[in-house]
Structure 1
Amino acid sequence: MHTHYTPEQQMLADGVDRFVREHGRFDQWRKLTSEGAAFDEGNWRRMADLGWLALAIPEEDGGFGATTAETMIVAEGLGRGLLREPYVSTCVLAARMLARGGNADQRELLAGIAEGRVRIATALGEEGGRFQLNQVRTRAEHTGTGFSLSGAKSWVPDADSAQWIIVPARTRGTANASDGISLFLVAADAPGLRRTDFRSPDHQHISQLQLEGVALQESALLGSLHGGLELLEYGVDHAIAARLAEACGAMETVAAMTLDYLKVRKQFGATIGSFQALQHRMVDMTIACEEARSMLQLVAAHMDAAPAERQRAVSAAKARIGQCGYYVGHQAVQLHGGVGTSDELAVSHYLKRLAMIDMSFGNADFHRGRFIALSDAVIEEAEVAA
């Protein structure tokens, strides 16, 4: 499926492709991974110089005010090169929430994001939360002069390189209520905040956070008091769209690698790409990539729609692209044979990345359930209106 870009978007896509060819080689990825680096700081500076970090930032805050389509172009390139720069965490998820709900002081951070000086993580996951954004047990108690945060966050991508962390906390209500969730901008070195770092299977840097009476000023509140869930959902949906673009980039790249391998690997005196059974599997991989691309376009077309309509499109795409990603990744490894499982070959790492993208912000099973629930709600509203 051909993606129709405007001339400006095509220039951006061409620039991203050049960047990935020069700075997203697998040997560079392996070197960074062996050194234990979260990402390439040089790449981050280059991305800032190219203006990519400012795409989602409004013009009045020093950015370009670009649409979701432009950030998806950059994210797709990151997927093609397995690049680990915290683009989605900082420049999509955090930037979108700051731009929509930040106060004057918080919005000043957007200029720092655009320049590459500021990175912001978001602490979504809690034990037993099962991807539900309203499952928040971390508490924020009002102290009269501010707030005191206590609780734990179990899965926070890119927190080890962030200067700030957005923390959802409950300011009233029960642990699973939609009302009563507030968002707070917390300095990464705030007293009472402890961080434990580890790596995910695809070598992304993840952290667990323990908050023990973290004292915050009133100005740390991001968005409205008790009403932070809507802002959080807005930011997460944009982050999902970027991750799905990343998945499409990774799928198409690993499929191309597999096709190249089938053309040169010989067995029984012939290239294995001449075997009809393997040709059929390669066709199925290509179809899965095309399905994923079509669902990506569905998401891009609905990001400015009403919240329920946007969420339905995001969940439909997340579920299907997650399935396609697993299929393409597994087929790529199998068609490479035993070498496909080796650490020295890029193919296995693309599979791991696709698996972790499926798990981020809710896996395919979760989003199938959310799509059904949202669809039932739409049907009920239509019946009531009739």
Structure 2
Amino acid sequence: MNFDLTEERQMLQDTLRRFLRERYDTATRNQILDSDSGMSADIWSELAELGVIGALFTEEQGGFGGKGFDISVVFEELGRAGVVEPFLDTAVLAGGLIADLGNADQLSHVEEIIGGGLQLAFAHGEPTSRYELTQVSTSAMEKDGDVVLNGRKAVVVNAEAADMLVVSARESGAVGDAEGISLFLVPKDAKGLTIQGYALLAGGRAAEVTLDDVTVPASARLGAAGKAASAIEARIAAANVAQTAETLGAMDTACGLTKDYLGTRKQFGRPIGTFQALAHRMSDLLIEMEQARSAVIIAAGHLEADRGTRERHVSAAKNLIGRVGRLVGEEAIQLHGGIAMTQEYELAHIAKRIIMADHRFGDVDHHLERFIALSAA
């Protein structure tokens, strides 16, 4: 199998890498992290103009990519540069669900997303749901032709900056059932919607979202009533491919910084990278990186496969990236010493990104158990 990028994807990668190298350094990111919004509107607009968001949607949806390898190419570069803007949440998750399930009127939002003019958030996880996608207790009740939403959503990334939220709610069935879950488009200024925001350790912002008799028209529903579970699972699979690729890019940066440091830091008159013990540790990291890259490639290549195959490869990649990521993050910090913990040094942010990535969409233990269950099915 040929794993080389197509000409179009290679051009996208080169363009994105060059732009981020010139525009997204450590000082710029630290300014963004200190801002109230936790993101840069200018960077967002410029990347939209470059076609980065369009690469995350298929041609039928108005973009020019949307496949597993398109997603992995974009997010590996975003991870390599430590970009904190919410491309995953606006485009892959919320935007992807609109593109997958929306009617003609709702699909008009996709053009706005691709153009960089619309921010979205996916409000799905709840305080007691952990990583189970069907643990939805937020209720949706029809009343006089409208739908009334009640419940609470936890760690909703980009909720404060979003113009609109894609909210999951249960119209029927018991908590934990796949049947009965629907999705609704909820404007940020909807009456009864409360957003309590906070900064995330790895960059960006999230919020606790409370829905207290939030009323939306029935036309705000995405797709058929109670049938959203499979679409949510497919979009979370795409998000996992994006995040594993992003973590792979961050790991590549961490290894590069560590290699450079070992070649310049001197003790006893020579670079510490020439000491055999440190050279062996660095070699181990590079070997683990190659295994991690293979897992991401396989997951991206099977994103359009049948559900069982797709989910097995996604869980395998997520588990491996989580384990290798922790090793790379810890080893990079130890090989650097104290400088690795300073906010002004690139590795401080990158290492946090790598470690915290394991805690979104399921950690290593969750995906190991899930892989075993999927393989036995």
TM-score normalised per structure 2: 0.97
Question: Do structure 1's residue 335 and structure 2's residue 335 form an aligned pair?
Answer: yes
Cα distance between partner residues in 2 of 1:58 and 1:276: 49
Unaligned runs of 5+ in 1: 378-386
* Cα pair distance change 1:303/1:127, threshold 3 Å: same
Alignment of 1:119-134 (within 5 A): 119-134=119-134
Question: Do structure 1's residue 363 and structure 2's residue 363 form an aligned pair?
Answer: yes
Unaligned runs of 5+ in 2: none
* Cα pair distance change 1:248/1:3, threshold 3 Å: farther
Structure-2 residue corresponding to 1:325 = 325
Greater RCO structure (CA 8 Å; 6+ sep): 2
Structure-2 residue corresponding to 1:288 = 288
Cα distance between partner residues in 2 of 1:260 and 1:142: 61
Aligned residue for 2:279, secondary structure, equals: helix
Asked if structure 2 preserves the Cα contact closer than 8 Å seen for 1:126 and 1:154, the reply is: yes
Asked if structure 2 preserves the Cα contact closer than 8 Å seen for 1:157 and 1:205, the reply is: yes
Asked if structure 2 preserves the Cα contact closer than 8 Å seen for 1:97 and 1:234, the reply is: no
Alignment of 1:269-280 (within 5 A): 269-280=269-280
Structure-2 residue corresponding to 1:43 = 43
Q: Deviations over 1:312-343 (max 9, x none)?
A: 11001001011111110111111011221222
C-alpha displacement of 1:86: 1.1
Cα distance between partner residues in 1 of 2:27 and 2:37: 14
Which deviates the most, 132-141 or 172-181?
172-181
Which deviates the most, 104-113 or 343-352?
343-352
Asked if structure 2 preserves the Cα contact closer than 8 Å seen for 1:192 and 1:211, the reply is: yes
The amino acid across from 1:344 in the alignment is E
Alignment of 1:21-60 (within 5 A): 21-60=21-60
C-alpha displacement of 1:60: 4.5
Structure-2 residue corresponding to 1:90 = 90
Aligned residue for 2:358, secondary structure, equals: helix
Aligned residues: 376
The amino acid across from 1:116 in the alignment is G
C-alpha displacement of 1:61: 4.3
The amino acid across from 1:216 in the alignment is V
Structure-2 residue corresponding to 1:7 = 7
Cα distance between partner residues in 2 of 1:143 and 1:36: 38
The amino acid across from 1:155 in the alignment is V
* Cα pair distance change 1:64/1:351, threshold 3 Å: same
Question: Do structure 1's residue 206 and structure 2's residue 174 form an aligned pair?
Answer: no
* Cα pair distance change 1:338/1:65, threshold 3 Å: closer
Cα distance between partner residues in 1 of 2:352 and 2:369: 24
Which deviates the most, 37-46 or 213-222?
37-46
Aligned residue for 1:280, secondary structure, equals: helix
Identity among equivalent pairs (%): 39
Alignment of 1:70-81 (within 5 A): 70-81=70-81
Cα distance between partner residues in 2 of 1:66 and 1:51: 12
Two-structure CA RMSD over aligned residues (Å)? 1.4
Alignment of 1:207-246 (within 5 A): 207-246=207-246
Q: Deviations over 1:51-85 (max 9, x none)?
A: 12122334344322442211221111110111111
TM-score normalised per structure 1: 0.94
Aligned residue for 2:155, secondary structure, equals: strand
Aligned residue for 2:53, secondary structure, equals: helix
